[in-house]
A = this chain, B = another copy of it.
Amino acid sequence: MQVLFNDVAAQWREIEQEALPEMLSLLREGPYILGRNVEHLERLFTVHTWTAHAIGVASGTDALRLAYQCLNPDTQMAIQANAHVSDALSALHVCVPYVFADCDEYYNIDPQDEMLCCQGSNGNHTILVVHMYGQAADILSIRQRYPEAMIIEDCSQAYGATINGKPVGGFGDIAVFSLYPTKNLGAIGDGGMIVTSIPEYADMLRQLREYGTKDKMEYNYLGWNSRLDELQALILRHKMDRVPIWIARKREIARLYNEQLAGVGDLVLPKKPPYADESTYHIYPVRTKNRKDFRDFLKRRYCIPTLIHYPMALNQIEMLSASRRKCPRAEEYAKKIVSLPIHPFMTPEQAKYICDAIKDYFSTGGRNDT
């Protein structure tokens, strides 16, 4: 049985009939840059996230960097150590000093980590909350604990995830989304979105994405050139309607995994945290001690692809980590974590095939004797 880790092209096949005529009309008429499709998608994002402003940019990494440029230069930012490398890399690029905080057992930032208290010279204080693997983080506790902190939400992995029914993106002061193809809402290429309800930030971000100017005469900010393509915005508009259905399908696969894999070997399955609604399963992460054996066995005997998100904690990457503070959970997880295939077009049969393969692995004592 053939199993794909993800199947993003199937998303296009589902929207082709309705999207293609519009796409041809855009290709034949233009404009290709910052036209009505980007504007429309921006409006849809404000509606979805319950925010006032949305700004389409070229990638999630660009979105992070531009958002960080809105921070007070004297701030200090806490970043969770198990996040994506771009979360810290973007801060390095715009010289925002940061410290690493550890994650909780749901892979999200631990609200109790003392590093979340760290403040800059003027008491300026920023916390980056990355909703990991599709699961909304405990941003409400963090907001309550640190009411004076600026909170940036990185929703790249969790478009559509909710807390008490309210989607991520509207909890922080600024929120960013990567629209990379494999995300819950993904483009046919790179793309990103920033949302905020604070008009000053929105105004600054709109200038930052086009060279830091409004009129090409006065340059107010150290801007960049970072725009979401019209073509991508058009496709994203059509996908957006389908995402709730796609998430529902992934949740069915996840439930099957949860049932079938409970108590199998040393596997640690993802759990629903008390602080948010069910994960959207951008990733289905499990942990096992002999990860390499586990992956090799699945790959070689059953042709089942797995991935690692991510092989190193950020505090272990020399270039990103001046302080080398220990983050025990993030470091342990980086050694043991494996992502199983999950996507909206996976059948229950495929999921069962994967579960059976995993049971086979553990029934042979977890050794890779292929």
A interface list, Cβ under 8 A from B? 8-9, 12-13, 16, 20, 24, 27-30, 32-33, 58-62, 85-86, 89, 92-93, 180-181, 187-190, 211-213, 216-217, 219-220, 222-227, 229-232, 310-312, 317-320
Contacts and interface: CB of A to CB of B under 8 A. Distances in A.
A138 B216 CA distance: 28
26 contacts: A9-B30, A12-B27, A13-B28, A16-B27, A27-B188, A30-B181, A32-B188, A33-B189, A59-B225, A59-B226, A60-B225, A85-B211, A85-B213, A86-B211, A93-B224, A188-B230, A189-B231, A189-B232, A190-B225, A216-B310, A216-B311, A216-B312, A217-B312, A219-B317, A219-B318, A219-B319
A25 to B, nearest CB: 10
* This chain: copies in complex: 2
Nearest to A216: B311
Name A's interface SS.
mixed
Contacts of A92: 222
Contacts of A85: 211, 213, 216, 219
Contacts of A58: 58-59, 190
A9 B29 contact: yes
A27 B19 CA distance: 11
A228 to B, nearest CB: 9
Contacts of A224: 61, 89, 93
Contacts of A24: 16, 20
Nearest to A61: B225
A211 to B, nearest CB: 5
Contacts of A227: 190
Contacts of A223: 89
Contacts of A229: 188-190, 229, 232
A50 to B, nearest CB: 28
B9 A190 contact: no
A99 B363 CA distance: 69
A33 B231 contact: no
Given A9-B27, A89-B224, A311-B217, A188 B231 contact: yes
Nearest to A233: B189
Nearest to A58: B58
A33 B181 contact: yes
Contacts of A12: 27-28
A32 B8 contact: yes
B219 A320 contact: yes
